């Protein structure tokens, strides 16, 4: 498992664990970024753009660091 901010653009990932504080994790889940779902990295230049389903989420580096993913 890797923190989300270490991935590269174009990689496909599985969201494994939302290690951020409850409120932020809750918000991520509400927006469709739930544990176990498949996502794709659109860009990663310190801040990350993550595609989950048809939602494109912009996530700050700090938050990305606390999201653990595994590569496909």
Partner 1 sequence: MKNQSLTIALVGNPNTGKSTIFNALTGLKQKVGNYPGVTVERKTGFLNLNGVQHKIIDLPGTYSLNHKKIDERIAYQTLIGEYQHEQTPDLAVLVLDATNLDRNLYLATQVMDLEIPVIVLLNMSDLAEERGIKNDADKIQKQLGVPVLPIIAKNKKDIEQVKQAIAKHDLKPPAPLRWKPEESLSNAINEITENWLKPHTNLPNRAYPIEALRLISDNQVPDDFHNHPRKEVAQEIIANAQAEIERAGKNPAAAEVMARYDFIESCTKNGSTRQDEAETTSDKIDAVVTHKVFGPILFVAILLLMFQAIFSWAEPFMNLIDLFFVHAGNTVAETLPPGILNDLLVEGVIAGLAGVIIFLPQIMFLFFFISILEGTGYMARAAFVMDGFMTRIGLHGRSVVPLISGFACAVPGIMATRTIESWSDRLITIMVLPFMACSARLPVYALMISAFVPNENVLGFISLQGLTFFGLYIFGIVMAIAAAWVMKLFYSDGSSTPFMMELPSYKMPKWSAVFYNMFERGWIFVKEAGKIIMAISVVLWFLASYPKVDVPPEIANNPATTEASFNAQQSASSYKLKHSYAGQFGRFIEPAIEPLGFDWKIGIGLLTSFAAREVMVGTLNTIYSVGEEKGSVVTLQEKLIKDKDPETGEPIFTTLSAISLMIFFALAMQCMSTLAIVRRETNSWKWPIVMFTYMTTLAYICSLVVYQGGLALGY
The CB-of-6 to partner 1 minimum distance in angstroms stands at 15
The CB-of-11 to partner 1 minimum distance in angstroms stands at 13
Quick one: 3 or 51, whose CB is closer to partner 1?
A: 51
The residue among 34, 41, 29 whose CA lies nearest residue 16 is 34
- Interface with partner 1 by CB under 8 A: which residues? 9, 18, 20-32, 34-35, 40, 42-43, 45-47, 49, 51, 53-63
Identify the bridge partners of residue 2 per DSSP, sorted by sequence position: 69
19 Cβ contact partners less than 8 Å away, ≥ 6 residues apart: 25, 66, 67, 68
């Amino acid at each position: 498992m890797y923190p989300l901010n270490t991935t590269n653009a174009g990689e496909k990932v599985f969201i494994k664990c939302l290690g951020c504080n409850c409120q932020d994790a809750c918000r991520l889940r509400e927006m469709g970024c739930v544990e176990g779902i498949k996502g794709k990295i659109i860009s990663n230049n310190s801040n990350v753009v993550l595609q989950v389903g048809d939602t494109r989420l912009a996530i700050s580096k700090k938050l990305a660091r606390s999201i653990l993913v595994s590569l496909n």
